[in-house]
Amino acid sequence: MRAALLCDYPEEQWHSMDLCAQMLLSHWRMDRRWQLDPIRPPFHHRVARLPKLRGRKVAFNSDRLLNRFWDYPNYVKRLASQFDIFHVCDHSYAQLVHELPAERTGVYCHDIDAFRSLIEPGQEPRPGWYRAMSQRILDGLQKAAIVFYSTASVRQQLEHYQLVNPDRLIQASYGISLEFSPIETAPSLFPELADFPFILHVGSCIPRKRIDVLLDVFAQLRDRHPNLRLVKVGGDWTSEQNEQLDRLEIRSRLIQFHNLSTHEIAALYRRSAAVLVTSQAEGFGLPVIESLACGAIAVVSDLPVLREVGGEAAIYCPVGEIATWVETVDAVLVGQRTPEKSLRLAQASRYSWQTHTKAITQAYLQLGAR
């Protein structure tokens, strides 16, 4: 069978989405029953080329919309007869289903954030054009023959809001790359971090990540541990976050990295004093299992999805309760009781990209046999 793997535009730099697509592609190709082709059309820069808008975020976002809703759909429309199966790697590209044979197309739904303005308009008010865009994506998701999901929490949300027919839902949990292990493979990396302890955050700076909590917690911990540093991997500071950094006077204690390899991120997990996940919402929380696989101590928000992923191997704090976070992380820093390393490694070992890929390919084989 011939399958098309519809990937995100790399220019958008959604690293977690790119990782999921990359891992699926590499493991799916091992199955000789399939001929697999990744689909990534060229990204066209139009608005960003205008002299008055060049370099501005609004220009890039305008080009994103044109590429997502005009170029990419027209590109895949020509492929409909060339493949037996189509797999959309990221649900925020589900508008592509409108241009494909829906009965032979599946979509991976990572979370329901793209639909918040439709299902919870009071909590996430958006302009009419944005809601129309979200509705177009949701309509595509609802047309797909299969919708994959990562955790029981995501399934519960999809069912609660009646976003997808439950009969079309299939679980395919994420996995962990081989680089994420407790074995130190590159001791010479990051020499600038060798002389002090640090807490680590891996991920973007979007609102649901609650970076404000992360910065407040670190500021109070710094007063107790003067040598402590905060290492941030990924994300671009918002104006509000920049103001908070200056107000708390912690910018000099912050080290930020971008575009690190999984090999480099694993090295940071292993050397961290604690990995913090302060989010108020997640679809899975890859940094939780990645850090546990490296033997790190994960202190994370007490969300059903993160309890599902981290089990008894992570430490949980209520979302946004700064004082509790400070006391909990401080206890970790001074060496008080934490989950045993063997428990942390065992929890992470439950997840593999091989199992993830098998769940997806089996679903498509059954779909093709109908």
Mean pLDDT by 10 residues, the chain (370 residues): 96 89 95 94 92 83 95 95 96 98 97 94 93 97 98 95 96 93 84 91 94 98 96 94 96 93 94 97 93 97 96 97 97 92 96 96 86
Same domain, 264 and 285: yes
Same domain, 144 and 232: no
Same domain, 343 and 358: no
Residue 356 forms part of a structural domain: yes
How far apart CA 27 and CA 149 sit, in angstroms, is 18
Residue 22 forms part of a structural domain: yes
Same domain, 262 and 357: no
Same domain, 359 and 218: no
End-to-end CA distance of the chain: 14
Residue 180 forms part of a structural domain: no
Same domain, 159 and 31: yes
CB atoms < 10 A from the CB of 182, how many? 16
Same domain, 154 and 39: yes
Q: In sequence order, what are the residues at sequence separation of 6 or more whose Cβ sits closer than 8 angstroms to the Cβ of residue 316?
A: 299, 300, 301, 302, 306, 307, 310
How far apart CA 65 and CA 206 sit, in angstroms, is 19
* Sole residue written with tokens 């590429």: 67
Same domain, 90 and 73: yes
Residue 245 forms part of a structural domain: yes
Q: Are 299 and 332 in contact (CB under 8 A)?
A: yes
Same domain, 336 and 357: no
Please report the pLDDT score of residue 370 as a whole number: 65
How far apart CA 193 and CA 228 sit, in angstroms, is 10
Provide the β-strand partners of residue 277. Answer: 300
Residue 299 forms part of a structural domain: yes
Q: In sequence order, what are the residues at sequence separation of 6 or more whose Cβ sits closer than 8 angstroms to the Cβ of residue 234?
A: 15, 202, 203, 204, 257, 258, 260
Same domain, 147 and 11: yes
* Sole residue written with tokens 């066209």: 44
Please report the pLDDT score of residue 9 as a whole number: 96
User: Total domain count for the chain?
Assistant: 2
How far apart CA 296 and CA 269 sit, in angstroms, is 6
Same domain, 103 and 20: yes
CATH code for the domain in which residue 248 is found: 3.40.50.2000
How far apart CA 219 and CA 226 sit, in angstroms, is 10
Q: Which residue segment(s) compose the domain that 135 sits in?
A: 2-175+352-369
Residue 184 forms part of a structural domain: no
CA 90, 96, 97, 101 torsion: positive or negative? negative
Please report the pLDDT score of residue 369 as a whole number: 59
Same domain, 285 and 363: no
The conformational region for residue 344 under phi > 0 = left, psi -120 to 50 = alpha, else beta, is alpha
User: Nearest 5°: phi and psi at 124?
Assistant: -135, 75
Whole-angstrom CA distances from 15 to 128, 129, 163, 202, 346 are 29, 26, 26, 11, 26
Whole-angstrom CA distances from 280 to 236, 283, 310 are 18, 11, 16
Residue 186 forms part of a structural domain: no
Residue 185 forms part of a structural domain: no
